[in-house]
Amino acid sequence: MDRKIAILGAFIVISLCLMSSEKQQVEAAPGKGYLDPASTNYILQPPNITTGQERFFCLARGRCHFIFLTCPKECPLRKPPLSQTNVKACFADCSSRCETTCKHRIPNCNGYGSVCYDPRFVGGDGVMFYFHGANGGDFALVSDDRFQINVHFIGTRPKGRKRDFTWVQALSVMFDSHTLVIAARKVAKWDDHFDALSVNWNGKDIIVPTEGDAEWHDGEEAVAVVERTGLVNSAKITILNGLIQMDVKVVPITEEDDKVHGYNIPQGDAFAHLETQFRFGNLTEHVEGILGQTYRPGYVSPVKRGVAMPMMGGEDRYRTSSLLSTNCASCRFQRPITFTEEKSVPLKLAQA
């Protein structure tokens, strides 16, 4: 009997400690309610002593509430060594799925919310399409009540073509009075060991460390977190505790791609650009943008199916005056009244 009472007492103490840690964690995450259901709402636990597999204690409501999850043996770590970019990482999902899975920490260019190549999109509805844009142009990728994401294109127009070949060279994430700019530096000749990924927060260049957790965040509130997923050229970005998540990778136009597609890339420019994949939480049903519109409930894509390059229009609706402008014909996001452009100076973009 005494032993049962002791065990029960220990369980109560542990539960209270966990709930206290939970409350502290949630309070440190702005916009996140107590016991809010979220796939990443967990407390990291000490790894398995024998196997090294990392473990998680889920706080999300639902069937995963107060459940322990363990990483699979095939991917025991959330953050494999940065030098091992081909090794899959462990992802814990404390939502109704209540599971851990192994995934690569780079954009899946065939997955939902991806923007890759010249540029090819896969919408929130799973439909693939292309968007021309224009060399040097800026467009609203996603515009919703709480944030806006713009992209800046670089491109070429070989003789005889009526439209530019374009690639995403930079993107900006604007929310509240903050601006995060992710860009590919202009590189004359591609080097796999050179870091061409540029990160700018509220007008200031930042350096993301390669040691320790290999991540940068804006401060105690951590409304923006940039985590390296490789020693160079790749990162995971999290905004407002998961309202926006994206995997980003900087890649060049290879000589083979140039020859096959006839891009006519000029000498002395590797045309470094971004491959990205986005995940969003709590979008409104009125979300806009080249990509954003595809996440609306009941959205039906207007692109022509069964063709090699289904094209999405909207250049006139989503063109902005700059990478940091929130004004376009269909844009929804508005800066706070107290916001001034001086707080968010764009980094100098490479021009083709």
Backbone angles phi, psi at 236, to 5 degrees: -115, 130
* Pairwise CA distance, residues 19 & 182, whole Å: 37
* Whole-number average pLDDT of the chain: 87
What pairing do the DSSP bridges indicate for beta strands 244-251 and 197-201? Answer: unpaired
pLDDT confidence band for 30 (50 / 70 / 90): very low
**How high is the pLDDT of residue 64?**
92
pLDDT confidence band for 95 (50 / 70 / 90): confident
Are 179 and 193 within 8 A, CB to CB?
no
For the chain, give the longest Cα–Cα distance. 89
> Can you give the pTM of this predicted structure?
0.83
Q: How many Cβ atoms are within 10 Å of 240's Cβ, its own excluded?
A: 24
Mean pLDDT over 313-328 rounds to 96
Residue length, the chain?
A: 352
pLDDT at 229 over 90: yes
Residues 6+ positions from 9 with CB-CB distance below 8 Å: none
**How high is the pLDDT of residue 125?**
96
Q: Which amino acid is at 154?
A: I
Q: What percent of the chain has pLDDT over 90?
A: 72
